[in-house]
Structure 1
Amino acid sequence: MNHLDQPSDISRRVFVKGLGFVSLSLVASAMLGGCEQLIKDIQNRPVRRYLRTGSPEVQHTLDIYREAVVRMKALPAADPRSWNAQAALHGTVAGGFNLCQHGTPHFFSWHRAYLLYFERICQELTGEKSFGLPYWNWNQQPAMHPAFLAPGSALNHPRSSTTVGTNAAFGDPSMTTILSDTNFFTFSSQLEGTPHNTAHVIVGMDMGTGGSPLDPIFWAHHGMVDYCWAKWNIELHNDNPNDPTWINTKWDYFVDGSGNPVSVIAGITPLMPLLSYRYESSTVGNYATPIDMLKLSAQEAKTIEARIRKGAEVRFDIKRRIPVASNMPLRLDRPVSRPTRVATADLTALLESDARRERVFVNVDYAQLPMANDFFVRVFVNLPEANAQTPTSDIHYAGSYAFFGVHTLSGESHHHKTDFIVDATETLKRLHRNGLARTDQPLTVQLVAVPVAGKFRQPEMQLLLKNLGFIIAPVHVRTSPG
């Protein structure tokens, strides 16, 4: 199905014109000739650079970003482009979340549209049409760029931490595992639950709430999330859903640079990095840069565009569920260890195969968000003595996740992520190879809550674990390049 639900020739011209640069009425005239300027607009679309020191281009970007923040904060409160109004689309510090999508198939698409129209407001208010939001590659640069720490700067903001440090959620093993997942739905869930949520929690204060866009680092953090999706989809040749329900989901509350309402459907968002902006590529995990997005020829871009527009029939198929525990109250300061109903022998064929035909996820589902989110949770396999001091370099470590947001008593109905998956396939294989997962004994799973700042604010806080178990799912095969 065509993502734009237009005749094929119109769709081709939509690519040529660039998303939102001209109206469809002008596309018809472009078909008659004179497309050179429109093609040039695509080739010269704004560059989103990765934040680092020593780059004049990055410094110029930060200067423009700082000016945009100042100008947005100076706008009247009733202006939908104002700093607070833009943040309120996402949520508020005290009231939770509003229109943002978390824990849904539109985590990527909603936030991509959100960033694009915020970027256009910045362009309009500063007069810098070439401005692209910078992104914070916390995998390569754990500390925030100094521009976000300068006293008195509009980019500075109260925070609990200005670095993600050595947290394993952002390390090469974690990011490599996540980016190697070829299924859109499990890739999205892992990227959201692990590095995305953990960054919000570590930075803390406003960033740990629905009002997180009040902190200028939010937009650089989500730029990295968006870049990871673009890298996965464009550079690594993975497919987004072509399901009409996903494609035709529409949002009508964003505004353009002049404050005019715009309407955007999810199905156009995968094309935005080809039409409206481009990323300065950088390494994430073990994935370097197979495609330099700044040097794509028009033909290369059209070939990529055709593949992305086509998408695939992506589903999260579950071959087998292995329950471990359900409806169990947990105390935050007490690690949990539970045996499974499956022995390693039941997984021998999977664990002894080098081919990734199936994956094993640890699936953790809670009844609701916690009352405080100053912690993240590490997952171990076959290590009953695991605790907060157990290093993530331990062979039993599988991964981690964090809660973004807290439970409120306001009765808000906004869906938020309370279920998580951690890909434990390689951990199980390592344990099996090293004789630490015996075929005559059941596997065990450990959940260890770790405070971000050294101690829990509410150590006796209880969480209701709704379900804990393993999920075995077939690998979704990526498309061939181009």
Structure 2
Amino acid sequence: MLKIYAGAVGTMMATTQSNPGSPLSWLFQWYTHAIPNDRTKAAELARIYPNASDPVRALANKMWNTCEAHRNPAREDFFFPWHRLFLIYFERIIRQVSGEPKFTLPYWNYTGPSPQNRILPVQFRSSGDAAWKPLFRPDRNRDTNDGVPIDQISGASPIDIKAMKSIVYGQTTGDAGLCSNVDNNPHGSVHGDVGNQRGMGRVPWAANDPIFWLHHCNIDRLWASWIKAGGANPSSPGFKNEKFTFADSNGALVEGSVGSVLDLNDLDYDYDRYIDRPPGSPPFPSKLTVEVFAIRAVARRVSGPVTLGASPTTVKLTTQPAPELNFQGIKKDLSVQLQSLKEDSVFYLRLNDVNASAPPDAGYDVYLDPSGEGELKRSESAYVGSLSFFDVAPHDEQHEAAEPKGKGRNYSFVVTDRVRELQKEGRLSREPNVTLVPTGAPSEGSAPRIASVSLVSS
């Protein structure tokens, strides 16, 4: 399948040179995801399609720069289905270009247990091989192309599947939801670990790298695994009836609805194996509970806006009332609150409105109440997850579809085991700390920040 893929990518790249306006060209598919930030959509449409009445230009105008949900965090729930539709139609184009009707897009299994799983496959690093050269891109982190596991590169973010602990698909007061949490890690972490400023590490350039498609195929597999384990997709008409425009294998306009791709049984593909939810995952609630999910008891400890830098940042959380949750009588002693909760209560550490002025090119490891003795390590129980800043900053100030300013993304980590451990040790009678440790030095002027940090129980 990789040989077929490499040959088709080479053909599509050649088409970019001879007929860049073809929907079957590499450029057209790349631009569907996002326009590079050194050019504009209007200028590229005019350059490639000088005839304003060209019907393919109209198709390009509808398709290009439409990736969800890079430009509007409020549309985060469409992240999974938009990319699934993108993969489906792209796979069909590969079949058409290659003449191989049974071609199946592979996935990159970087979520596997071995460090070897996180080495970029050699076929994508073989710049001197005639057969594999179309899969090579120089615009990656150098160590990535040298065969170093991407999570072991200096400054890299860890890659994990902690997001699968989420019990709901979309945003709630407690759980930020599978979709948002996967978008953070492993999705954003892999992008940043592989790429650079003109590669996978930047939204406008990411889809030019052939590994992009295998990366998103694994993200799709993770979503399918979560559903197979008992998770539920949104059922609202507003979600299921949303439609997106793509090109079919003949380059003609086609519309795909979200509802048509939510169940793999309705599609023509399956995965050879699925991913188990990690240990400590809370059980999925009933359908009724999902629809009326509410906070039953809150230990909400909110900081002010937190600006992160090149050294660890510690936030001391103080108990405050949360009137917007309609929960009265919050006591100031967290340990007393814990005693009143049910044994099956789930605890979340929420990072709200994660934002930056420019891409930081660094992530942050998140620790809940570390002991403070020595260097913090991901192997200790205080480590609860990592924060990727992929796609939390505007792509380009002049970009026509630049993201809404001042509003970032929300992420959460299930920290029930950590809270219970602290409770057992008698350490929750005081104010716990959240410490964020950078994986590398953030870019100058990027100003990565979090509007609030909260500990919530449900």
TM-score (norm 1): 0.71
Q: Summarize the Cα distance change of 1:325–1:313 in structure 2 as closer, same or farther, 3 Å threshold.
A: closer
Which whole-Å CA distance do the structure 1 matches of 2:26 and 2:351 have between them? Answer: 37
Q: Summarize the Cα distance change of 1:231–1:329 in structure 2 as closer, same or farther, 3 Å threshold.
A: closer
In the alignment, which residue of structure 2 is the partner of 1:374? 361
Which whole-Å CA distance do the structure 2 matches of 1:246 and 1:315 have between them? Answer: 17
* Secondary structure in 2 matching 1:362: strand
Q: Summarize the Cα distance change of 1:312–1:439 in structure 2 as closer, same or farther, 3 Å threshold.
A: closer
Q: Summarize the Cα distance change of 1:337–1:224 in structure 2 as closer, same or farther, 3 Å threshold.
A: same
Do the aligned partners of 2:185 and 2:388 also contact (CA within 8 Å) in 1?
A: yes
In the alignment, which residue of structure 2 is the partner of 1:338? 316
1:136 aligned partner, one-letter code: W
**Deviating more after overlay: 189-198 vs 334-343:** 334-343
In the alignment, which residue of structure 1 is the partner of 2:53? none
Which whole-Å CA distance do the structure 1 matches of 2:288 and 2:135 have between them? Answer: 38
* Secondary structure in 2 matching 1:438: coil
Match status 1:249 vs 2:242: yes
In the alignment, which residue of structure 2 is the partner of 1:183? 168
Do the aligned partners of 1:373 and 1:403 also contact (CA within 8 Å) in 2?
A: yes
The offset of 1:372, in angstroms, is 2.8
The offset of 1:284, in angstroms, is 5.0
**Deviating more after overlay: 332-341 vs 310-319:** 310-319
Q: Summarize the Cα distance change of 1:461–1:229 in structure 2 as closer, same or farther, 3 Å threshold.
A: closer
After TM superposition, the structure 1 = structure 2 runs for residues 420-435 of structure 1, keeping only pairs within 5 Å, are: 420-433=411-424, 435=425
Residues paired across the two proteins, number: 375
In the alignment, which residue of structure 1 is the partner of 2:208? 214
In the alignment, which residue of structure 1 is the partner of 2:60? none
In the alignment, which residue of structure 2 is the partner of 1:31? none
Match status 1:398 vs 2:384: yes
1:340 aligned partner, one-letter code: T
In the alignment, which residue of structure 1 is the partner of 2:7? 67
After TM superposition, the structure 1 = structure 2 runs for residues 160-239 of structure 1, keeping only pairs within 5 Å, are: 160=141, 161-162=143-144, 163-165=149-151, 169-171=158-160, 175=161, 177-185=162-170, 186-205=177-196, 206-210=199-203, 211-233=205-227, 235-239=228-232
Do the aligned partners of 2:309 and 2:438 also contact (CA within 8 Å) in 1?
A: no
Which whole-Å CA distance do the structure 1 matches of 2:251 and 2:88 have between them? Answer: 14
Larger strand proportion, structure 1 or 2? 1
The offset of 1:431, in angstroms, is 2.5
In the alignment, which residue of structure 2 is the partner of 1:441? 430
Do the aligned partners of 1:135 and 1:223 also contact (CA within 8 Å) in 2?
A: yes
2:378 aligned partner, one-letter code: T
* Secondary structure in 2 matching 1:184: coil
In structure 1, which of residues 127, 132, 155 is the aligned counterpart of residue 135 of structure 2?
155
**Deviating more after overlay: 63-72 vs 319-328:** 319-328
Do the aligned partners of 1:148 and 1:217 also contact (CA within 8 Å) in 2?
A: yes
The offset of 1:98, in angstroms, is 2.6
Q: Summarize the Cα distance change of 1:286–1:318 in structure 2 as closer, same or farther, 3 Å threshold.
A: closer
Identity of aligned residues (%): 25
Which whole-Å CA distance do the structure 1 matches of 2:434 and 2:300 have between them? Answer: 12
Q: Summarize the Cα distance change of 1:400–1:121 in structure 2 as closer, same or farther, 3 Å threshold.
A: same
Match status 1:101 vs 2:68: yes
Do the aligned partners of 2:350 and 2:410 also contact (CA within 8 Å) in 1?
A: no
Do the aligned partners of 1:329 and 1:464 also contact (CA within 8 Å) in 2?
A: yes
In structure 1, which of residues 145, 150, 171 is the aligned counterpart of residue 121 of structure 2?
145
Which whole-Å CA distance do the structure 1 matches of 2:368 and 2:232 have between them? Answer: 31
1:267 aligned partner, one-letter code: G
1:373 aligned partner, one-letter code: P
Q: Summarize the Cα distance change of 1:316–1:373 in structure 2 as closer, same or farther, 3 Å threshold.
A: farther
Do the aligned partners of 2:368 and 2:383 also contact (CA within 8 Å) in 1?
A: yes
CA RMSD of aligned residues (A): 2.9
After TM superposition, the structure 1 = structure 2 runs for residues 35-46 of structure 1, keeping only pairs within 5 Å, are: none
The offset of 1:114, in angstroms, is 0.7
Superposed CA offset, 1:414-460 (max 9, x none): 36853322222222122323x1x524212221222221xxx4443x7
Superposed CA offset, 1:257-300 (max 9, x none): 1101111111111124642211111545659xxxxxxxxxxxxx
In the alignment, which residue of structure 1 is the partner of 2:283? none
In structure 2, which of residues 83, 97, 104 is the aligned counterpart of residue 132 of structure 1?
104
Which whole-Å CA distance do the structure 2 matches of 1:426 and 1:168 have between them? Answer: 23
The offset of 1:386, in angstroms, is 8.3
1:280 aligned partner, one-letter code: D
Task: Give ranges in structure 1 of 5+ residues lacking alignment.
Answer: 1-60, 288-309, 474-482
Q: Summarize the Cα distance change of 1:317–1:276 in structure 2 as closer, same or farther, 3 Å threshold.
A: farther
* Secondary structure in 1 matching 2:23: coil
* Secondary structure in 1 matching 2:200: helix
After TM superposition, the structure 1 = structure 2 runs for residues 311-330 of structure 1, keeping only pairs within 5 Å, are: 314=291, 317-319=294-296, 320=298, 322-330=300-308
2:454 aligned partner, one-letter code: G
Do the aligned partners of 1:399 and 1:424 also contact (CA within 8 Å) in 2?
A: no
Q: Summarize the Cα distance change of 1:273–1:148 in structure 2 as closer, same or farther, 3 Å threshold.
A: farther
2:247 aligned partner, one-letter code: V
Which whole-Å CA distance do the structure 1 matches of 2:195 and 2:273 have between them? Answer: 28
2:381 aligned partner, one-letter code: I
1:196 aligned partner, one-letter code: H
Q: Summarize the Cα distance change of 1:150–1:106 in structure 2 as closer, same or farther, 3 Å threshold.
A: same
In the alignment, which residue of structure 2 is the partner of 1:23? none
Which whole-Å CA distance do the structure 1 matches of 2:222 and 2:207 have between them? Answer: 19
In the alignment, which residue of structure 2 is the partner of 1:57? none
The offset of 1:395, in angstroms, is 1.8
Match status 1:360 vs 2:345: no
Which whole-Å CA distance do the structure 2 matches of 1:322 and 1:107 have between them? Answer: 29
Which whole-Å CA distance do the structure 2 matches of 1:311 and 1:68 have between them? Answer: 47
Q: Summarize the Cα distance change of 1:312–1:129 in structure 2 as closer, same or farther, 3 Å threshold.
A: farther
Superposed CA offset, 1:85-129 (max 9, x none): 111111134269931113411111111011111111001111111
1:154 aligned partner, one-letter code: P
* Secondary structure in 1 matching 2:348: strand
Which whole-Å CA distance do the structure 2 matches of 1:403 and 1:168 have between them? Answer: 10
Do the aligned partners of 1:184 and 1:314 also contact (CA within 8 Å) in 2?
A: no
Do the aligned partners of 1:168 and 1:392 also contact (CA within 8 Å) in 2?
A: no
The offset of 1:371, in angstroms, is 1.6
* Secondary structure in 2 matching 1:421: strand
